[in-house]
Chains A and B, each alone.
Chain A
Amino acid sequence: MSVATLDIRDLYLSFRGYVGTVEVLHGISLHIDRGERVALVGESGSGKSVTARIVLGLLQELRSAHVSGELLFEGTDLTTLSAAARHDLRGTKMSMIFQDPTSSLNPVYTIATQFHEVQKRALPTLGAAESRAMAAKMLGDVSITEPDRVLDSYPFQLSGGMNQRVMIAMALANEPSLLIADEPGTALDVTVQAQTLTLMHDLVAEHETSVLFISHNLGVVREFADRVYVIYKGRIVEKGRTQALFGNPGHPYTRALMAAVPKITGGGVADVEEASEAFAEPMVDHDRQAVA
């Protein structure tokens, strides 16, 4: 078997503040094979977004954050790399799509300028004309029918769905091996979100890009991911292949998350407990069950 794109082992995170140390992650382990789409699901404050920021190396730059554990990216231990080496990885080998596309694009530059800037991360000598031709082709790949008009536009002149597609094209521009998607489409309409996810799904499959997909909505995850990790208060509570996990959710917290998604078959609004002792039950591992 080839080496995993991302292999996180026993990751701990704590923040030092005025009131003492706050433990955020309590030893989470997660791996993503090449070309695999893996989802990390949990509610706000569960630690899913900080995990993404640690992989990108952004949190380690904070003086108040204390990170420990192993982070292997294509076999290289990220914790041993210098800040400059980490910086070189971002935007080239790993890239990220954020929740709100309109605020993550720079409002004072056109899409063409921003695209060029992204491409220069991998190809420093790339000229504006070549960049434009490449960008137009990539915008075509995300089903943008008038790439020239979009390239000459500012982000506020485009719709949310259009900006999100621009973000996806930019994130994939340098052929990264890992794409981190933090709740992409949550800020969009259901129909636009569905289209965006299908598009992203097909593109990463074609490019064999590994994806870490972060979301609070198990419904969205079911459509997109090969494997799922459910995270609650800094601990992984359930993991397994998408089919296995949705077919037979084992952990009380996973079941609560599933119940909370409104059903198109009706049944009213679910009663969701604030916090239950059952949520602290040990992890349910579908892969291990299959072996045993």
Chain B
Amino acid sequence: MNPLLSVSHVSKTFRLGNHEIRAVDDVSFDVAEGECLAIVGESGSGKSTIANMVLGIYPPSDGTLTYRGAELPARRDLSHRRAIQLVQQNPLSSLNPKRSIGASLRLPLDVHKIGAAGDRRDRIGALLEEVGLPDDFAGRSPAALSGGQRQRVAIARALACESELVVLDEPTSALDVLVQARILKLLQQLRAQRSLTYIFITHDLAVVRNIADRVAVFEKGKLVELDTPQRLFAEPSAEYTRSLISAVPVVGNDEVRLREQLAGIDHG
């Protein structure tokens, strides 16, 4: 089966004065249709640069991106912009504070001419319901919503234009643990219902362990490891992966034992 997205020998170099920064260095991986691929790494590992290239915010310096068998152009047409959508970390800055929730959700419907103009209102109501919000939220402004509710709106907006691939850039890092669990649950449900494909960017390996089908570990612009979370946590081959796992704060005694095992400490 052909992959949905294919990233092949992609590099990205940024120029700062006389300085050259290689943010992404010869990276190749595939994303299968319907899978959740997690991209993990510290700040500066190049994970957001990858996301921006997938979204077409800037083109790669080298290499190609292929979507459904066709190369993605540097300047995307409307159909690609509809198919690949983004949910950002901070919904307070990604939602326009002067626009009502309904207006924010209406914009992608208008741009991509989805459904008849007359039933936009019903569609907005249905979208809100799908992410677990009452439909009278359409009249509210982002400031009147809590962090978790705003993130639900950002997810609804990414789904509004019937997207296929959603890039989730740290969607739960700014939320508290209870809200995070609810949003992760919602994302899982939506993926199953709508047959979505996710690229999930995060620095939290514990989140990855529970939602991803495969994990790509990035260090300093390079892809150092790509495997299922089960195998990655059982036998991380890269030292870097091991250090990322051991940094995760844990609550359970069994988790403490797993972490110690990975660190190579034997407590009998």
The chain A residues found within 8 Å of chain B, CB to CB, are 43-44, 159-160, 189-195, 216-220, 222-223, 246-247, 256-272
Task: Known A-B contacts: A194-B249, A219-B248, A263-B210. Give 16 more (CB < 8 A).
Answer: A44-B179, A189-B203, A191-B42, A191-B244, A192-B43, A217-B177, A222-B251, A257-B177, A258-B252, A261-B250, A262-B209, A263-B206, A264-B259, A269-B185, A271-B181, A272-B178
Which one of A193, A216, A266 contacts B177 once the chains associate, using CB atoms below 8 Å? A216
10 inter-chain pairs at a CB distance below 8 angstroms, sorted by A residue, are A44-B146, A44-B176, A189-B203, A190-B204, A190-B247, A195-B247, A246-B253, A261-B206, A269-B211, A272-B185
Q: How far is the CA of A266 from the CA of B233 in the complex (A)?
A: 9
Is there an interface contact between A263 and B178, defined as CB atoms closer than 8 Å?
no
Q: How far is the CA of A153 from the CA of B6 in the complex (A)?
A: 42
Is there an interface contact between B207 and A217, defined as CB atoms closer than 8 Å?
no
For the complex, is B184 an interface residue (Cβ under 8 Å from A)? yes
Interface centre among A259, A263, A264, A269 (most CB of B within 10 A): A264
Is there an interface contact between B258 and A265, defined as CB atoms closer than 8 Å?
yes
Instruction: Give, as a whole number of angstroms, the nearest-CB distance from B172 to chain A.
Output: 9
Interface centre among A189, A192, A216, A220 (most CB of B within 10 A): A189
Q: A261-B251, A264-B209, A264-B250 are in contact. Are A269 and B177 (CB under 8 A)?
A: no
For the complex, is B100 an interface residue (Cβ under 8 Å from A)? no
Number of A-B contacts (CB under 8 A): 121
Is there an interface contact between B249 and A261, defined as CB atoms closer than 8 Å?
yes
Is there an interface contact between B252 and A263, defined as CB atoms closer than 8 Å?
yes
Q: How far is the CA of A246 from the CA of B253 in the complex (A)?
A: 8
For the complex, is B108 an interface residue (Cβ under 8 Å from A)? no
Is there an interface contact between B178 and A265, defined as CB atoms closer than 8 Å?
no
The chain B residues found within 8 Å of chain A, CB to CB, are 42-43, 146-147, 176-182, 184-185, 188, 203-207, 209-211, 229-230, 233, 243-255, 258-259
Q: How far is the CA of A31 from the CA of B205 in the complex (A)?
A: 35
Return the chain B residue nearest A45 by Cβ: B146
Which one of A190, A193, A260 contacts B180 once the chains associate, using CB atoms below 8 Å? A260
Is there an interface contact between B249 and A223, defined as CB atoms closer than 8 Å?
yes
Q: How far is the CA of A11 from the CA of B236 in the complex (A)?
A: 49
Is there an interface contact between B251 and A265, defined as CB atoms closer than 8 Å?
no
Instruction: Give, as a whole number of angstroms, the nearest-CB distance from A201 to chain B.
Output: 13
Is there an interface contact between A265 and B244, defined as CB atoms closer than 8 Å?
no
Is there an interface contact between A260 and B177, defined as CB atoms closer than 8 Å?
yes
Q: How far is the CA of A216 from the CA of B233 in the complex (A)?
A: 25
Is there an interface contact between A222 and B250, defined as CB atoms closer than 8 Å?
yes
Q: A190-B203, A262-B210, A267-B210 are in contact. Are A219 and B249 (CB under 8 A)?
A: yes
Is there an interface contact between A191 and B233, defined as CB atoms closer than 8 Å?
no
Q: How far is the CA of A84 from the CA of B247 in the complex (A)?
A: 43
Is there an interface contact between B249 and A222, defined as CB atoms closer than 8 Å?
yes
Is there an interface contact between A193 and B247, defined as CB atoms closer than 8 Å?
yes
User: In the complex, which residues of chain B have a beta carbon less than 8 angstroms from the beta carbon of A43?
Assistant: 176-179
Instruction: Give, as a whole number of angstroms, the nearest-CB distance from A52 to chain B.
Output: 16
Q: Which 3 A-B pairs have the closest CB atoms?
A: A219-B249, A216-B176, A194-B247
User: In the complex, which residues of chain B have a beta carbon less than 8 angstroms from the beta carbon of A272?
Assistant: 178, 181-182, 185
Q: A43-B179, A160-B43, A269-B188 are in contact. Are A190 and B205 (CB under 8 A)?
A: yes
Return the chain B residue nearest A41 by Cβ: B177
Return the chain A residue nearest B208 by Cβ: A262
Instruction: Give, as a whole number of angstroms, the nearest-CB distance from A110 to chain B.
Output: 22
Is there an interface contact between A190 and B178, defined as CB atoms closer than 8 Å?
no
Q: A189-B42, A191-B243 are in contact. Are A264 and B205 (CB under 8 A)?
A: yes
User: In the complex, which residues of chain A have a beta carbon less than 8 angstroms from the beta carbon of B255?
Assistant: 263-265
User: In the complex, which residues of chain B have a beta carbon less than 8 angstroms from the beta carbon of A189?
Assistant: 42-43, 203
Is there an interface contact between A246 and B210, defined as CB atoms closer than 8 Å?
no
Q: How far is the CA of A220 from the CA of B247 in the complex (A)?
A: 10
Interface centre among B229, B230, B243, B252 (most CB of A within 10 A): B252
Q: How far is the CA of A94 from the CA of B211 in the complex (A)?
A: 42
Is there an interface contact between A218 and B251, defined as CB atoms closer than 8 Å?
yes
Is there an interface contact between B245 and A264, defined as CB atoms closer than 8 Å?
yes
Is there an interface contact between A269 and B179, defined as CB atoms closer than 8 Å?
no
Q: How far is the CA of A178 from the CA of B248 in the complex (A)?
A: 27
Return the chain A residue nearest B187 by Cβ: A269
Instruction: Give, as a whole number of angstroms, the nearest-CB distance from A22 to chain B.
Output: 16
Which one of A192, A223, A260, A266 contacts B178 once the chains associate, using CB atoms below 8 Å? A260
Q: How far is the CA of A259 from the CA of B182 in the complex (A)?
A: 12
Instruction: Give, as a whole number of angstroms, the nearest-CB distance from A28 to chain B.
Output: 19
Instruction: Give, as a whole number of angstroms, the nearest-CB distance from A135 to chain B.
Output: 26
Return the chain B residue nearest A193 by Cβ: B247
Is there an interface contact between B249 and A220, defined as CB atoms closer than 8 Å?
yes
Is there an interface contact between A262 and B43, defined as CB atoms closer than 8 Å?
no
Instruction: Give, as a whole number of angstroms, the nearest-CB distance from A192 to chain B.
Output: 7
Q: A191-B42, A267-B210, A272-B181 are in contact. Are A44 and B147 (CB under 8 A)?
A: yes
Is there an interface contact between A264 and B181, defined as CB atoms closer than 8 Å?
no
Q: How far is the CA of A216 from the CA of B185 in the complex (A)?
A: 19
User: In the complex, which residues of chain A have a beta carbon less than 8 angstroms from the beta carbon of B176?
Assistant: 43-44, 216-217
